[in-house]
């Protein structure tokens, strides 16, 4: 597989793109690879962290605020081609409920009108994404694994439509590689251990069992971020309603979501090849240089 010419990333809500693949986008832009980000909802049901922005929680204004945060994150990463699936506001955040220990999630009992995870809408969503892929003609499409990373129904749906659209355009799996974002268990565990040695961190540090990870050996692509991690941190800070960043120069920096668990911002990002051409390590040589 030659170095990719164009990459499309399919993410559920504003902030998901930066947490899981901000470094990939920044490195791809630096290497001259075309990057298209597709966001599937505005994250209307997200919990708000800062007290001075808490009044946005549960209100229509949160959607517009998060769209602004996403635009700022894209600017930090150098991404200029961003689209909302089906148009801005077409699909709304489905919400989630806690599902056991750590950050694992599941679908709520009831979905609101226009919810992205509505089972009846999957074919339309596949068609909408297929239209984007037809226009962009990517070599690589990035989304989540079948569990949506940590179980959020919108992440699961993003996985479903990414796979459906890729299969529609490339039924034999000869042209488009489909990757899932993934966190290598060993790297995450080492990062968490480093965070535990920092008494100044104001939030608790979870165990690796509390977080969605995969065995290190199952990672197909491990992309070193290098200087691009600075831009990833800037993009994380742009999502101020959703993310806190802790960076005093220690390695690794940390971030936390509304669950108030400190997690490491690793020096690399991992991806697993789900279908399509292999040779992804060689294909990313330009991004890791």
CB count, 10 Å around CB of 150? Answer: 17
What angle do the packed helices 61-77 and 228-238 form, to 10 degrees? 170
Phi-psi region of 184 (alpha: psi -120 to 50; beta: other; left: phi over 0): beta
| Whole-number pLDDT of residue 109 | 78
Model pLDDT, residue 280? 58
Joined tokens for residue 215: 């065995």
Give the Cα separation of 126 and 132 in Å (integer).
10
Residue at 253 is within a domain: no
- Give the C-alpha distances (Å, rounded to integers) separating 208 from 77, 261, 289: 28, 12, 30
Q: What is the pLDDT of residue 287?
A: 61
For 64, other C-beta atoms within 10 Å of its C-beta total: 15
ω into residue 114 within 30 of 0, thus cis?
no
User: Strands (DSSP E) along 40-139, which ranges?
Assistant: 81-84, 97-98, 105-106
Structural domains of the chain, count: 1
Residue 41 falls inside a structural domain: yes
Q: Per the domain annotation, does 205 fall within a domain?
A: no
Total residues found in the chain within this entry: 289
Taking the C-alpha atoms of residue 183 and residue 168, their distance in angstroms, rounded to an integer, is 28
- Of all helices (H) and strands (E), which one includes residue 62? helix 61-77
First to last CA, the chain: 17
In a domain, 192, yes or no: no
Task: Compute the distance between CA of residue 198 and CA of residue 221 in angstroms, rounded to an integer.
Answer: 30
Domain interval for residue 278: 6-184+214-248+267-288
DSSP secondary structure letter of residue 10: E
Domain membership of residue 209 (yes or no) is no
From the centroid of its chain, how far is CA 123?
22
Domain holding 35: CATH number? 3.40.50.10320
In the prediction, which pLDDT does 171 show? 97
Q: CA-to-CA distance for 285 and 272, rounded, in angstroms?
A: 16
Please report the pLDDT score of residue 2 as a whole number. Answer: 63
**What is the rounded distance in angstroms from the CA atom of residue 88 to the CA atom of residue 117?**
16
**The predicted structure's pLDDT at residue 13:** 98
Determine the pLDDT at residue 101. 65
Spell out the per-residue pLDDT of the chain, length 289, in tens: 566 799 999 999 999 999 999 999 999 999 999 999 999 999 999 999 999 999 999 999 999 999 999 999 999 999 999 999 999 999 999 988 777 666 777 778 788 899 999 999 999 999 999 999 999 999 999 999 999 988 899 999 999 999 999 999 999 999 999 999 999 999 999 999 999 999 899 999 999 999 999 999 999 989 999 999 999 999 999 999 999 999 999 999 999 999 999 999 999 999 999 999 987 556 665 565 5
Q: Is residue 151 part of a domain?
A: yes
Q: Is residue 109 part of a domain?
A: yes
Give the C-alpha separation, 245 to 264, whole Å. 10
**Per the domain annotation, does 36 fall within a domain?**
yes
d(CA 258, CA 74): 22
Tokens standing for residue 64: 């517009």
């Amino acid at each position: 597989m030659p170095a990719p010419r164009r990459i499309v990333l399919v993410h559920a809500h504003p902030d998901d793109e930066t947490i899981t693949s901000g470094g990939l986008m920044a490195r791809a832009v630096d290497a001259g690879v075309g990057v298209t980000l597709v966001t599937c909802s505005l994250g209307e049901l997200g919990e708000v962290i800062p007290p001075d922005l808490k009044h946005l929680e549960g209100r229509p204004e949160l959607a517009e605020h998060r769209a602004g945060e996403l635009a700022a994150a894209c600017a930090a990463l150098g991404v200029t081609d961003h689209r909302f699936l089906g148009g801005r506001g077409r699909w709304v955040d489905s919400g989630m409920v806690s599902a056991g220990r750590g950050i694992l999630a599941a679908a709520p009992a009831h979905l609101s009108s226009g919810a992205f995870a509505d089972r009846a809408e999957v074919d339309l969503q596949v068609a909408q994404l297929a239209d984007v892929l037809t226009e962009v003609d990517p070599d690589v499409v990035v989304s989540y694994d079948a569990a949506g990373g940590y179980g959020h129904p919108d992440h699961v749906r993003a996985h479903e439509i990414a796979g459906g659209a890729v299969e529609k355009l490339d039924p034999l799996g000869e042209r488009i590689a489909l990757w899932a974002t993934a966190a290598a268990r060993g790297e995450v565990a080492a990062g968490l251990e480093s965070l535990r040695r920092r008494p100044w961190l104001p939030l608790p540090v979870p165990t690796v069992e509390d977080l969605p990870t995969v065995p290190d050996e199952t990672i197909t692509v491990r992309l070193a971020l290098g200087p691009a991690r600075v831009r990833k941190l800037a993009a994380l800070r742009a999502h101020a309603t959703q993310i806190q960043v802790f960076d005093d120069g220690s390695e690794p920096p940390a971030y936390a979501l509304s669950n108030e668990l400190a997690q490491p911002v690793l020096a690399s990002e991992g991806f697993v090849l789900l279908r399509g051409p292999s040779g992804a390590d060689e294909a990313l040589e330009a991004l890791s240089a």
